[in-house]
Amino acid sequence: MAFGISRGVRFQILSEDDLDKIHWGTLHILEKVGVEVNSVECRKLLKDNGCETDEKTRICKIPSHLVEEALDKKKASITLAGRNPKFDARLDMNHSYMTANGNGAVAVDFETGKRRPSTKEDLVKSSRIIDYLQNVHIHWPMVSSTDQPASVVHLHDLDASLNNTEKHVMYETGVTLSDAKYLTEMGYIAAGGEKEYRRRPITSCLQCTYAPLQHDAGVMDASLYFAKAGVPLVFFGMPQPGATGPATLVGSLVVGNAEVLSALTMTQLHAPGSAVIYGMGNAPLDMRTTIRAGGSPEHAISSAMATELAHYYGMPSCVGVSATAKQPGDQAVLEYYTGCTGPLLAGADLMCGVGLLEDSSCLYLEQIVIDDEIIGAIARLIRGQWADDETLALDVIEKVGPGKDYLAQRHTMNHLKTEIFMPNLIDRRSYDAWSQAGSKTLVDAARDKTRWILANHKVPALDGEVERKLQGVIEKAKKPMWGGESKSH
């Protein structure tokens, strides 16, 4: 079976004229308003290439020709490789890939139901679940290893991920130059060396820009390093309509677009041809609660529009979904289905990220399994339909004739599993059969499936020497609380 979700149906929100207006409006903002660039190296890079820079305000105004040149220089084809090649995600504009959500700090214990800070073991379990599931294609460390030394939590997160899934691992923790160096070193080790990593990058980094129109120093310094090191980058704008962006969805899209394109420009000036994925996750601010409305229709529409804009630039898209529900159940299903359907129908290349609740902060292991079911249903919806000799089935219709059924036909057996969505959790039995089996809810079924995966699914371990080297990087990176370098023991 092909990896990823094949796309046959697509809708369009923005017209070509709309996209042109957004593009030219963005170039106007970059040239006349500018962006705040807090990296000294990036400001110098921009100034040396003809940008107007103000060292006092750190505002850099970027002429349109530099943006256009960056769009021409970017890497044309990107594959996010898995430790196992059967999990390679080829961003070919014809397939969609789901990623897990990442970097939560709270977990609900699967056995006791108690909320607590997340641990490395939570990450181990969630990684194994994602490795098993068919409809979650890219792993993202879902929670933080808060039980590990603070200075190396992010390295433990990557270590647990690489050891417990053969799928590609994307992280969001490369926010300083030092972080970037250690994370890249671990990626090289796990891939079998720098040369092999550059050929098949098994990790990537998602970098959030700062709305409105700002770039953090550490994030951009790290991004320049990643770009040179061959680590694929996602620049992910997140203006909140009504808060850190205009209340209109298109207005906030312009703000996010300016952030993403300016980051692209800086990386292409530094490392021409580096791999950059276009990212956006614009969920509005709920004015009643002042909480980000993840999973809202507006979140879905914004992600769909960002996908269309990415494709306008010839770039693969990475767009967001989340849920504000506090526990698995009706609200979480509604938010994830709403949040995913629009962007996937629009052709999202990467859709991140499923599995966390409370606006991407809290892990329930069973929610990952529920979201896998949701994505399976949407995958069937967007696959589309076509008419050929096999699907028309005229010979079968002629053979069966009037008044008979098709149950015993070979054609039926050949197409049953591919034509009809076969759920793992949804219960389609009669009421009596369902009730006699324990009247289990969708969440109950997901918990049963989660328990089975944890008991039965095994992930091939990394080579012992590879793991020893990964641990060596973690030990090297440890810092005591006062900030100096520690000695390895």
Tens of pLDDT along 3-13?
Answer: 999 888 888 99
The answer for 441, left when phi > 0, alpha when psi is -120 to 50, beta otherwise, is beta
Q: What percent of the chain has pLDDT above 90?
A: 88
State the pLDDT at residue 1. 54
> Under 8 Å CB-to-CB from 157, ≥6 apart: which residues?
120, 123, 141, 144, 145, 171, 173
Sign of CA dihedral 33, 37, 38, 41: negative
Which pLDDT score, from 0 to 100, does residue 482 have?
A: 46
- Please give the pLDDT value at position 288: 87
Inform me whether the pLDDT recorded for 285 exceeds 90. no
Average pLDDT over residues 379-388: 88
Asked if pLDDT for residue 414 goes beyond 70, the answer is yes
Cα distance between the two ends of the chain: 47
Average pLDDT over residues 23-39: 98
The reported pLDDT for the residue numbered 39 is: 98
Q: Quick one: average pLDDT of 21-36?
A: 98
pLDDT in tens, 147-156: 999 999 999 9
Q: Identify the band that residue 386 occupies on the pLDDT scale cut at 50, 70 and 90.
A: confident
What pLDDT does 287 receive?
82
Tens digit of pLDDT for each residue in 457-467? 999 989 999 99
Q: Does the CA dihedral 93-95-96-100 come out positive or negative?
A: negative
Strands (E), 168-327: 169-171, 203-208, 214-215, 233-237, 276-280, 285-286, 291-292, 317-320
Q: How confident is the model at residue 480 (pLDDT cuts 50, 70, 90)?
A: low
- Give the mean model confidence (pLDDT) for residues 46-60: 98
pLDDT of residue 479: 74
Alpha carbon distance 57, 79 (integer Å): 38
Helices assigned H by DSSP within 346-463: 365-383, 389-392, 394-400, 410-419, 431-436, 442-456
d(CA 250, CA 231): 31
Sequence-separated (6 or more) residues with CB below 8 Å from residue 281: 236, 237, 238, 299, 302, 303, 319, 320, 322, 352
pLDDT band at 131 (very low <50, low <70, confident <90, very high): very high
Residue 293: pLDDT band (50, 70, 90) is confident
Average of per-residue pLDDT across 286-309: 91
Cα atoms in the Cβ-side hemisphere of radius 13 Å centred on 334: 10
Note the pLDDT tens digit of each residue in 165-192.
999 999 999 999 999 999 999 999 999 9
pLDDT computed for residue 106 by the predictor: 98
Instruction: Say yes or no to pLDDT of 381 above 60.
Output: yes
Give the global pTM: 0.94
205-241 per-position pLDDT tens digit = 999 999 999 999 999 999 999 999 999 999 999 999 9
Q: pLDDT at residue 487 above 80?
A: no
Using DSSP, state whether 94 is helix, strand or coil: coil
Q: Is the pLDDT of residue 483 over 70?
A: no
Q: Is residue 91 within 8 Å of 78, Cβ to Cβ?
A: yes
Over residues 463-485, the mean pLDDT reads 83
pLDDT average, residue stretch 21-29 = 98
Q: Average model confidence (pLDDT) for the chain?
A: 94
DSSP code at position 51: -
Rounded to whole angstroms, the Cα distance separating 357 from 88 reads 27
Task: State both tokens at 120.
Answer: 């490395």
Distances from the Cα of 402 to the Cαs of 345, 397, 399, in angstroms? 37, 9, 9
Each residue's pLDDT tens digit, 343-371: 999 999 999 989 999 999 999 999 999 99
322 and 354 Cβ atoms separated by less than 8 Å: no
> Does 489 have pLDDT greater than 50?
no
Given this model, what pLDDT does residue 294 score? 87
